[in-house]
Amino acid sequence: MKIVRADVIVTCPGRNFVTLKVVTDEGVYGIGDATLNGRELAVAAYLKEHVCPLLIGRDPGRIEDIWQFLYKGAYWRRGPVTMTAIAAVDMALWDILGKVTGMPLYKLLGGASRDSVMVYGHATGRDIPEALDRYAEHIDQGYQAIRIQCGVPNMRSVYGVSKGNGVYEPATKGGVEEQSWSTEKYLDFVPKLFEAVRDRFGFGTHLLHDAHHRLTPIEAARLGKAVEPYRLFWIEDPTPAENQEGFRLIREHTVTPIAVGEVFNSIWDCKQLIEEQLIDYIRATLTHAGGITHLRRIADFASLYQVRTGCHGASDLSPVCMGAALHFDLWVPNFGVQEYMGFPEAALEVFPHAWQFDRGTMHPGDVPGHGVDIDEALAARYPYDPAYLPVARLEDGTLWNW
Ligand code: KDG
Ligand code: MG
């Protein structure tokens, strides 16, 4: 079997997605997600100009060799654009292998380690009462794990809080939105939010929260310590993680579990965090961290240190990533939780999928491959529409950490 074509499909059914379709001489094809939120066309060009031509004529069954070829062979290793492109190829090749062997991806990986995948949903509100109402709705829908984000009094805007009644969208059209940030206001307020959750709902649900890298290590330590009574499942991205040593300071002060890594691209981004046991959950996901071939390596390494997975699953990772991630989650022995934000209705139509949601858990389905396809004719009806993540500025105008 040989690869005869590799096409890049850019579409915006409610939000922008980049998809790679790898076609073989036997007509079997595989699909991979190549979406890098806000920088979509860079990956599309990297694939189109530099990767797709190199795939033609190769045996799609040599997944590991193609991965190594694209990673080592390019000379320029790592980085979000490169690793997202490699991930898309890898996901598509695993999809082909599943279709050729007639096996769902999770069986190729070693079979299910659990019956279904626990996912966490997003409860957001402009204030505490609204956030608690959204939390209650998630409980009614069967979620066992819920992330809560809330507007902070006297702060103009907060990332991760939806403007209407639905879930928030991680990118906005019409330029880069500027949001404000005050660590002091946030740190004074956010323990009250968790207290309110536990007061109203008790301790029966896993409570999660994302700090979006806004704190310094010592501020993160203070937050972790202050919220210990509310027993969070995790605090996510408390501080930027380029400096992996910074997490030692957090660890010295608090037992609140830490999740990091949605922006990571490779095992090198989290090697120290994992081997020094500075985190509890690794959030890297398939699309941005080199696909199944590489994420499996990260997860195996993490398992040596009892670090569990908590794959990023925001709506800017396409339904293709969701499908492949659910296969990965069903198999991976050291699974923690999977994020699930849902998708715009149009995206669900463009990407027919076998995965299903059922009362706070998901299953990838049992069709061969990862079980997600793309309706190209429908995709063509939604042209690319540039959108960007917002930025955060301190109240004096200083550009702050994402
Ligand atoms: O593209 C970035 C978003 O996916 C990210 O901001 C969402 O932080 C996020 C999360 O935890 O889902
Ligand atoms: Mg996050």
Ligand lying nearest the CA atom of residue 160: 1
Average pLDDT over residues 225-233: 98
- Do residues 283 and 338 both lie within one domain? yes
Name the token pair of 203: 């301790």
* Triad 218, 282, 9: Cα angle to 5°: 120
Of 37-46, 66-75, 165-174, which range is least confident? 165-174
- Do residues 36 and 84 both lie within one domain? yes
- List the residue whose alpha carbon is closest to atom 7 of ligand 1: 314
Q: pLDDT > 90: what percent of the chain?
A: 94
- SS3 state of residue 378: helix
Q: 166 pLDDT band (50/70/90 cuts)?
A: low
| pLDDT at residue 384 tops 90 | yes
| pLDDT at residue 34 tops 70 | yes
Name the token pair of 384: 């690319």
- Do residues 144 and 282 both lie within one domain? yes
Looking at 104, 119, 139, which one is the last position of a domain?
104
Pocket of ligand 1 (CB under 6 A): 37, 170, 210, 212, 262, 312, 314, 316, 339, 389
Q: Which of 17, 122, 179, 312 to mutate to test the pocket of ligand 1 (most atoms within 8 A of CB)?
A: 312
Task: Give pLDDT, residue 321.
Answer: 98
Residue range 187-213, pLDDT digits in tens: 999 999 999 999 999 999 999 999 999
Task: Give pLDDT, residue 85.
Answer: 98
- Do residues 137 and 243 both lie within one domain? yes
- Give the whole-angstrom CA distance, residue 331 versus residue 182: 41
| pLDDT at residue 167 tops 80 | no
Domain span at residue 27? 3-104
Q: 99 pLDDT band (50/70/90 cuts)?
A: very high
- Do residues 99 and 129 both lie within one domain? no
394 belongs to a structural domain: no
The number of folded domains in the chain is: 2
- List the residue whose alpha carbon is closest to atom 8 of ligand 1: 212
88 belongs to a structural domain: yes
- Do residues 220 and 349 both lie within one domain? yes
Residues in the chain, how many?
A: 402
Give which of 261, 343, 317 is closest to 294, Cα–Cα.
Answer: 261
371 belongs to a structural domain: no
Average pLDDT over residues 209-231: 98
Distance 314 CA to ligand 1 centre (A): 6
| pLDDT at residue 269 tops 80 | yes
382 belongs to a structural domain: no
Task: Give pLDDT, residue 165.
Answer: 63
Q: In what order do the strands lie in the sheet with 17-24?
A: 3-11, 17-24, 29-33
Q: 156 pLDDT band (50/70/90 cuts)?
A: confident
Compute the 3-state secondary structure of the chain and give helix, strand, coil in percent, each to the nearest 5.
Answer: 35, 20, 45
DSSP string, 7-65: EEEEE-SSS-EEEEEEEETTS-EEEEE---TT-HHHHHHIIIIIIHHHHTT--TT-HHH
215 belongs to a structural domain: yes
Looking at 104, 137, 169, which one is the last position of a domain?
104
- Do residues 90 and 135 both lie within one domain? no
- Do residues 100 and 127 both lie within one domain? no
Task: Give pLDDT, residue 169.
Answer: 78
| 212 labelled catalytic | yes
Taking phi first (over 0 means left), then psi (-120 to 50 degrees means alpha), and beta for anything else, what does residue 254 get?
A: beta
Given the residues 29, 71, 120, 159, the one annotated as active site: 159
- Do residues 280 and 326 both lie within one domain? yes
- Give the whole-angstrom CA distance, residue 374 versus residue 347: 10
Residue range 309-330, pLDDT digits in tens: 999 999 999 999 999 999 999 9
Task: Give pLDDT, residue 180.
Answer: 92
CATH number of residue 312's parent domain:
3.20.20.120
Averaged pLDDT score across all residues of the chain: 96
Beta bridge partners of 10: 18
Q: How much is the pTM?
A: 0.97
Q: Given CA atoms 258, 261, 267, 269 in this order, what sign does their dihedral have?
A: negative
116 belongs to a structural domain: yes
- Do residues 157 and 87 both lie within one domain? no
Task: Give pLDDT, residue 174.
Answer: 87
17 belongs to a structural domain: yes
Average pLDDT over residues 333-344: 98
Closest ligand 1 atom to 122 CA: 12
| Contact criterion met (CB below 8 Å) for 388 and 402 | no
